[in-house]
């Protein structure tokens, strides 16, 4: 997904001379073709994330559309003040490409695990937060990203993730997509809501639950902010249970956004909700992404088990 995203920056640069790439201490040779063809629109800075944000803001004020790329925790925690003051206060069209959202960098421990990035970025006025599920959806998103008039936080998975989205959906910022409809139009289904690669786990869980006779809608939210509240309301009203799934802390992310939307729209008559995500802890162990996701219950089997228990208590 990461390579697809940065390659798209090069493709966008070929069509629009406003597009600029700024990296922060990334792999040698990254976008070498763009560097050679557009040397005045390709920059590789050192370990200086705060400076890079200011640099991108200055370029945007001069009419450019900078795409800034580095590790997710560095582009959020390390330069949060610059993102808030330089980008969001001025509402500048800078795109922050965040490598390794969630537990991707699990081998490097909690310093590199971006478990709260959605929460802190969606809290900023004017900031847009996007988390595509796969590389194909990333291409469709990038194609519409150029003319979006606000800053965007782009959360990347590790790459190689299974393609679950559909080209016929296209991509519109702020729009959700129903990737699975409850079997046979069954009434009173369960609504699974996912974002990023967690949507893949939700789809797998829905398949497991179908074998038990539990029908599920699966709603994919590639845009966490602005949130597609209308889609959430539409499918939640016909559902007996809403379950959110995210590779992110349960505080302030997709689950919180969906809960807030339901509380406001349902005026006190909110459907039952379960939020599946990373608990309010830093990971105390080192391993790979898959192992930590299983440890925190973010895999399909646990999602299905949470649904079974909730449905069984009806």
Same domain, 144 and 11: yes
pLDDT tens-place string over residues 71-112: 999 999 999 999 999 999 999 999 999 999 999 999 999 999
The pLDDT value given to residue 185 = 60
Give the pLDDT of residue 65: 98
Determine, yes or no, domain membership for 211. Answer: yes
Crossing angle (nearest 10°) for helices 254-266 and 229-237: 70
Which residue, 101, 125, 155, sits at the end of a domain?
155
Helices 135-145, 2-15: inter-axial angle, 10-degree rounding: 30
pLDDT of 159 reads 76
Task: Please report the pLDDT score of residue 291 as a whole number.
Answer: 93
**Nearest CA-CA partner of 275 in 211, 198, 210, 214:** 198
Same domain, 178 and 305: yes
Is 137 within the bounds of a domain? yes
Question: Last residue of a domain, which of 99, 125, 155?
Answer: 155
What domain range includes position 48?
A: 2-155
pLDDT at residue 123 is higher than 70: yes
- Domain end point (choices 101, 128, 155): 155
- Cα 96–chain centre separation: 12
Burial 125-144 (b: 16+ CB within 10 A, else e): eebbbbbbbbbbbbbbbbee
Q: Which residues contact 188 (CB under 8 A, 6 or more apart)?
A: 238, 239, 240
Cβ 171 vs Cβ 139: under 8 Å: no
Q: What pLDDT is attached to residue 312?
A: 84
Residue 1: strand, helix, or coil: coil
pLDDT by residue (tens digit) across 180-237? Answer: 999 866 678 999 999 999 999 999 999 999 999 999 999 999 999 999 999 999 999 9
C-alpha 254/C-alpha 276 separation (Å) is 10
Q: What is the pLDDT of residues 228-278, one digit of tens each?
A: 999 999 999 989 999 999 999 999 999 999 999 999 988 768 889 999 999
Indicate whether 164 belongs to any domain.
no
Residue 131 lies in a domain: yes
Mark whether 147 and 268 lie in a shared domain.
no
In this prediction, residue 28 carries a pLDDT of: 83
Q: Which helix (H) or strand (E) holds 15?
A: helix 2-15
- Picking from 188, 159, 153, the residue whose alpha carbon sits closest to that of residue 67 is 153
Q: Are residues 112 and 237 in the same domain?
A: no
pLDDT score for 313: 63
Cα dist. 60→18, 41, 53 in Å?
A: 9, 12, 10
Q: Residue 51 has which token pair?
A: 């400076």
Residue 161: predicted pLDDT: 84
Encode pLDDT of 154-182 as tens digits. 999 887 889 999 999 999 999 999 999 99
Q: Is the domain of 31 the same as that of 127?
A: yes
For residue 134, what is the domain's CATH number?
3.40.50.970
Of the candidates 37, 54, 39, 99, the residue with the CA atom closest to the CA atom of residue 73: 99
Six-digit token pair at 190? 């369960």
So what's the pLDDT on residue 27?
85
* Whether 130 and 235 share a structural domain: no
**pLDDT range class, residue 314, cuts 50, 70, 90:** low
How far, in whole angstroms, is CA 192 from its chain's centroid?
A: 16
Q: Tell me the pairing of strands 152-155 and 95-99.
A: parallel
* Shared domain check, 179 and 144: no
Q: The domain that contains 250 carries what CATH number? A: 3.40.50.920
The pLDDT of residue 188: 85
Structural Rg of the chain based on CA atoms: 19
Say if residue 24's pLDDT is above 70.
Answer: yes
136 and 237, same structural domain? no
Residue 165 lies in a domain: no
- Structural domain contains residue 160: no
Tokens in use for 77? Answer: 């925690």
DSSP assignment of 192-223 equals EEE-TTHHHHHHHHHHHHHTTT--EEEEE-SE
Determine, yes or no, domain membership for 162: no
């Amino acid at each position: 997904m990461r390579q697809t995203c940065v390659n798209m920056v090069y493709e966008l640069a070929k069509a629009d001379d406003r597009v600029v790439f700024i990296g922060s201490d990334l792999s040698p040779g990254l976008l070498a073709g763009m560097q050679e063809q557009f040397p005045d629109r390709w920059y590789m800075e050192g370990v200086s994330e705060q400076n890079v944000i200011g640099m991108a803001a200055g370029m945007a004020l001069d009419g450019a559309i900078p795409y800034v790329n580095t590790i997710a925790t560095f582009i959020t925690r390390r330069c949060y003040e610059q993102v808030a003051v330089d980008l969001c206060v001025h509402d500048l069209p800078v795109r922050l490409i965040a490598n390794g959202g969630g537990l991707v960098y699990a081998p490097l421990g909690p310093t590199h695990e971006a478990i709260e990035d959605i929460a802190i970025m969606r809290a900023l006025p004017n900031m847009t937060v996007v988390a595509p599920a796969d590389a194909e959806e990333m291409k469709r998103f990038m194609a519409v990203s150029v003319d979006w008039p606000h800053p965007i936080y782009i959360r990347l998975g590790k790459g190689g993730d299974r393609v679950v989205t559909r080209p016929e959906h296209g991509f519109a910022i702020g729009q959700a997509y129903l990737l699975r409809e409850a079997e046979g139009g069954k009434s009173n289904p369960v609504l699974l809501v996912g974002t990023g690669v967690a949507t893949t786990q939700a789809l797998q869980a829905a398949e497991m639950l179908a074998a038990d006779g539990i029908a599920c809608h699966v709603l994919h939210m590639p845009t966490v902010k602005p949130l597609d509240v209308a889609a959430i309301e539409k499918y939640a009203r016909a559902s007996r249970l809403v379950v959110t799934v995210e590779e992110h802390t349960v505080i302030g992310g997709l689950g919180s956004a969906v809960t807030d939307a339901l509380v406001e729209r349902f005026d006190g008559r909110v459907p039952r909700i379960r939020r599946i995500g990373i608990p309010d802890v830093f990971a105390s162990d080192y391993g790979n992404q898959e192992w930590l996701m299983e440890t925190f219950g973010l895999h399909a089997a646990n999602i299905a088990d949470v649904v079974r228990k909730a449905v069984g208590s009806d």
